[in-house]
Structure 1
Amino acid sequence: MGLLGFGKDGLGKGMDFNRPEDFYLKMAANIVFGEKADGSDSVPEADEREMEIFVNARRHLDRSVFDLQKWQNACGSRYFRKVAYILNRGGRFQDYGKSYDGEQLKNKYGRLINMYCEKVAKSKNSMTGKPYLGLAGYLPISDCLGRPVEDEKEGYDMHLITYREISQCKSRTVTNYWLSGLLPENFILVNTQDAVRMGLKDSSSVRVFSKSNTEGVYDLKNGKKIPMIGRIKVTEGIRPGIVAFSLGHGNWATGASDVAIDGLLIKGDPRRGKGVHLNAAMRIDPYLKNTCLLDLVGGSVSFYDSKVKLVKV
């Protein structure tokens, strides 16, 4: 297409831009070089053993993805072993011993942190007409009118939250079978105390209900309903009273189910439908009635304010 900044000498004389690594590995080289102009802040070079690990970890990749010589050319022979050093470690990290100055963090914020947000304080809740709080504060779980939502009084005693697994962070990543192989399905995480109280153990199946979803199903609005049933994983890594599920699993589309296109049946792959998704259990705003609870200041979904009930199945 003849666009500037691409192809031969796209990044400067002698620096072609033909492949993704031509750009990204130069960014990695910037990281390894450090912040001092003389290079004294750069990381060590990977030794022969580390280079062996670096190459062997990519031996399964096609040359269109990993070509050792092209990677070396992309960041320059001067920095290639240093780039390998940080990629082997997943990034550049400061030595623990350099992190603290006595009992205080060594890398402090160098400027003023404003705890008061004037823009927020001058804005008003369009539903109530009242100004927002410009300072940090605690607000109970509420609907858009500021009325408390207290579903725990009706038996929904578990606080539902979400998180992302690094290997399956989006619904679309289930199509990547290398990633799916690391974690074929997700789990519903509960603390040991809650598991004992409810008679649950690893791999127990539970159905999730909420005040907004008393059937415990995902209604696809096409005549099909999917029960919100998932397997338990007991952990000390979550607070008692909390239940968590990771996003990215529990798909019914994205090739997980059969679909007909112009009369041709495309069979679904059951691997893509494993696990559970609990968005449908999240609390509906009792005033709006057609959307979830909201973070009114940020204008987004309130992902951490729903109370649910787990029933063993």
Structure 2
Amino acid sequence: MELNVISRHLALHLETQIPRQAEFAQVYRYSVLPAGKLFRPSLVWALALDLGENTPTDENSNHAFLASAVEIHHAYTLIHDDLPCMDDDSMRRGRPSVHQAFGQWQALLAGDGLLNASYGLLSNINSPNLGKVLRLFSKYLGPQGLIQGQVSDLSGEISQSFEKLLSAHDQKTGKLIQVSILASYLLTEKFSYRIFIDLLKLGFHMGIVFQLLDDFTEFTESSLSSHERMVNPWLHFAKEAELTLNKGIDEIERITCRHDLKNLKKMITGYYLNISNKLDDGVENLKLNGISPLTANSVSNFIGKAYH
């Protein structure tokens, strides 16, 4: 699915969920549009095209509503993440974060609104598996999933052990990826329990691998905040992170090949290439930020193995 089509669906679907004539509507639009990389909604479509048969692709199709719901839910988490009481980030995607552009109460309410809007879009889905999709969203993205991951991060629990860090990574990053993949599969309406379990594992490993690589690329920047240094696993659990990364990359390769997930694998390969380019461009900063050449070489080799 082309990104411009996903983006067009997203803009259309957002308008159905917000008070279009109200002044506050501009806060919602600013929060969601223009969209970022659209990675998670692209996962929805990649899986649908890999495992679905004759999957409809129009704006009123089940997968279109799911893709937009996933992205709008993701947008709400970013708004709240950026707030001063959480990560306190003033910039997002190259422009002021929502609370910087409009104010803190506006950002808080916009996030609340988009959270509810994501479920509003899901309610448009016409499928016997809608109940399962809703339960998946609620469990994986709610108090037992994504939100608990943020609790672990902000409370400092994430830095107590590598196991707790992995759990938080799974909850904060992995659960939204798992929802994108698993809900998409449920909407293909051709169910295999074995495939479902493999996709669950795939989403888990993707979440861990992607977050570990994102953590590593932080060192390609000129400086890290004190919070970033406190929770970054490569400063505290480098050996464990290497082993987990290598295993995760192997598992992703195994599962995508087993089920011939060509579109999904193409997306993942593109992600690896992007990370590889970042590491090549930021090699000097890696040294300045205290990353040993041995660790840097290991990570580069893991990535190279993944996309060659």
TM-score (norm 1): 0.26
| Structure of greater Rg | 1
Q: Which has the higher strand share?
A: 1
